[in-house]
Amino acid sequence: MLHTPSGGAGSGTATAESGPMSIGAVLNLLRDEFPEITISKIRFLESEGLIEPQRTPSGYRKFSAGDVERLSYVLRMQRDHYLPLKVIREQLDALDRGEQVPLPGQAPPCDLPDSAPGPAEAVSSARMGRAELLAAAEVEDRQLAEWESYGLIGPVAEDGYEAEAVEVARLIADLGRFGLEPRHLRAVKAAAEREAGLVEQIVAPLRRHRNPKTRAHAEATARELAGLSVRLHAALVRTALRVRAH
């Protein structure tokens, strides 16, 4: 059974129904907390082995309350802490073994030596190749090449792509279905770069510190500021749309 740490899957998620649920019912249950959740997203997480719903003889998925709790945990770790799926899978395995898993930015149970990487450094080392990104995001190479030509997405030097590139690619693809082309999204990219610059001004002194715990605190602070910035951006967009509708 999944026992989440403080602030994990048990916080804020709607109560699951008592009996097995269809994927559509799960989608409706989670939509209040995760408005961008889609059936394809749930199927993708299943294909990655993060959730394992039962199947009926006819092949339909049936989700238990535990499956919903596990799915909520995965979505929250992605949204709030920007963790790649590899790290989330390791956390789930540890939780299944009954181990305590601190949230990103929390102090580990013992002191880290000065030479040991902090939690944020371990997370940031997760990279994926081009083929892995294409498969995870379910997009074609020509699409990715076009998005890269507009600077919307790209590898990190020679280390491959950040785990967040999967979500970026899927969002660009989703927006494309509404007629928004890469050239339309350059302004969004520019705004994100400006917001990142503001966050960097705040956390840069902490990142230069020799103490790995201080550096980990810098990454936790950056994630919190990024989350607040995203929420503010979403609220401003919703407000602007309401104003235009009147």
Q: What are the tens digits of pLDDT across the range 138-165?
A: 889 999 999 999 999 998 877 688 888 8
Q: What is the pLDDT of residue 141?
A: 93
Higher pLDDT, 13 or 55: 55
- Looking at the predicted structure, is the pLDDT value of residue 189 above 60? yes
pLDDT of 2 reads 63
Domains and CATH numbers, the chain: 23-96 (1.10.1660.10), 119-245 (1.10.1660.10)
Q: Is the pLDDT at 9 greater than 60, yes or no?
A: no
Residue 118 pLDDT class (50, 70, 90 cuts): very low
In this predicted structure, the answer to whether residue 16 has a pLDDT above a threshold of 80 is: no
Residue 113 has pLDDT above 60, yes or no: no
What pLDDT, on the 0 to 100 scale, is given for residue 110? 44
pLDDT at 12: 46
Please, which pLDDT band fits residue 228 given cuts at 50, 70 and 90?
confident
Task: Quote the pLDDT of residue 222.
Answer: 85
- Nearest Cα neighbor of 4 from 88, 81, 100 is 100
Residue 223 is predicted with a pLDDT of 83
pTM metric for this prediction: 0.49
Give the CB-side neighbour count of residue 188, counting CA atoms within 13 A: 17
What does the CA dihedral 207, 210, 216, 219 come to, rounded to 10 degrees? Answer: 0
Report for 34-38, 122-126, 182-186: range of highest mean pLDDT: 182-186
What phi and psi, each to the nearest 5 degrees, are found at residue 2? -80, 120
Position 208 pLDDT exceeds 90: no
Assess whether pLDDT exceeds 50 at residue 33: yes
Q: Considering only residues 118 and 192, tell me which one the structure prediction assigns the higher pLDDT.
A: 192
Q: Rounded CA gap, 234 and 243, in Å?
A: 14
Q: CB neighbours of 129 closer than 8 A, spacing ≥ 6?
A: 160, 161
